[in-house]
Amino acid sequence: MNSIITDTAAMERIQEILNKKKDMIKLSLSACAHCSICSDSCFKFTSNINDPTYSPAYKVINSIGRIYKKKGKLSDDEYRTIKNLIWNKCVLCMRCYCPLGINIPSLIACARSICREKGVYRTYDEAEEGRQI
Amino acid sequence: MNLAIPDFYDFLRGPGFAVSIIIFLSVSLYRTLCLIRATRKIQKISINTEKYIHRGSIPEQGNLLRRAVELLKIRIKNTIFGTNPVMGIISLVFHLLLFITPVFLSAHNIIADLTIGISLPAIPEQLTDIFTLLIIALGGFFLARRLFIPRVRMISTVRDYLTLLLVMAPFLSAFIAYHHFFNYRVVIYSHMIIGEIAIIIMPFTGLIHMPFIIFSRFFIDSEYSIMPGNRSW
């Protein structure tokens, strides 16, 4: 089980990451037209066609988008939900593309960095959310 | 009171329009500078892609047209035109018409000529009328897509619906005004006000993708870039 670190040092590091990537996150989130065309480029989405939460846009908006809007101050449960989105529903294969040129993998990688600082990440012996192998 | 109306009309077609364009350009420029700051120049590795990718897929000899088609097929394979061509064409037509129709509309160019003495070539009115109808129909298509396709609906916010409304409203009001369906004066004033508000709001919303598209097509390297860009996020 991952430990949830909520100390001040972790929050400071999260702020640091957010400040460093602020321009990219802010521009990407505001330029996103929510067209969902990026979905066609995601093999996880195309193989789970009935689940729209696999769409790259959904993953970005509900991971880094939420973290950025709340300045990293999310509850542990919210971080766990994000973890499920950016690790279990994305393999960071970098094959997704946006017609507007938004760098989706960079945004998801940024969300992963923040989650790691928070102590939320996927371990190699983990099969699915809540299940260990 | 009778004097106030032409004054307001003059304001809308003169200073009102100029102010909206100035706000649009300055905010777009500021956000473009932010985009440049958020991206960095990259040192590209020179790989002879012709040698690796195109070999075997394009006939060395033969019909020029066939070669061009094969090249195009490879180029668009990883874009929306390759994965979802219908959506790609609809989107392309919609965006082209959004630009062409107001810019080359004869009425707009007559006003421009009367105001600043400069005008662009005009498209026949019957054709722009068809274009407007097509834009309204395609706007309806995008609304339906947002409402009925789960993957689009799940990420749609009130802002997205308002943005679509903001884009469609000037065209709807223009169509109503052109055909004199209601009180012409009220409709044409609404059209001018809505149009100018749309121009002002554009760079503050997701519609910023309009000026940003130049960067994603020409400067940032991706599947969609027309020219090989030398910048990356």
pLDDT in tens, A83-100: 989 988 899 998 888 888
Task: Please provide residue B145's backbone torsions phi and psi, each rounded to the nearest 5 degrees.
Answer: -60, -45
Contact: B150, A34; criterion CB under 8 Å: no
Indicate the CATH number of B4-36+83-232 among 3.20.20.70, 1.10.1060.10, 1.10.3720.10, 1.20.950.20. Answer: 1.20.950.20
Residue A132, beta-bridge partner list: A126
Sign of CA pseudo-dihedral B194, B200, B204, B205: positive
Which pLDDT does position B184 carry in this prediction?
87
Nearest CA distance, B83 vs chain A (angstrom): 7
Decide if pLDDT at A130 tops 80. no
Q: What is the DSSP-derived secondary structure letter of residue B105?
A: B
Decide if pLDDT at A122 tops 80. yes
Which pLDDT does position B49 carry in this prediction?
57
pLDDT digits over A99-120, tens only?
888 889 999 999 999 999 888 8
Q: What is the DSSP-derived secondary structure letter of residue B227?
A: S
Chain B residues whose beta carbon lies within 8 Å of the beta carbon of residue A31: 206, 208-209, 212
Half-sphere exposure of A44 (CA within 13 A, CB side): 21
Tokens encoding B200? 């002002």
C-alpha A114/C-alpha A129 separation (Å) is 19
This prediction has a pTM of 0.82
C-alpha B102/C-alpha B99 separation (Å) is 6
Query: With an 8 Å Cβ cutoff, is B30 touching chain A?
Result: no
Contact: B151, A39; criterion CB under 8 Å: yes
| Mean pLDDT score, A6-10 | 76
C-alpha B153/C-alpha B15 separation (Å) is 39
Could you tell me if the ipTM is greater than 0.90? no
| Mean pLDDT score, B40-60 | 60
The SS3 call for residue B55 is coil
Helix pair A8-20, A22-31: axis angle to 10 deg: 60
C-alpha A121/C-alpha A80 separation (Å) is 8
Decide if pLDDT at A133 tops 70. no
Q: For chain A, state the CA radius of gyration.
A: 14
Which pLDDT does position B199 carry in this prediction?
92
C-alpha A65/C-alpha B127 separation (Å) is 43
Decide if pLDDT at B194 tops 90. yes
Domain boundaries, chain A: 8-120
Decide if pLDDT at B61 tops 70. no
Of A31, A40, A52, the CB nearest to B206: A31
Nearest CA distance, B12 vs chain A (angstrom): 29
Domain boundaries, chain B: 4-36+83-232, 51-82
Residue B40, beta-bridge partner list: B232
Chain B residues whose beta carbon lies within 8 Å of the beta carbon of residue A24: 38, 233
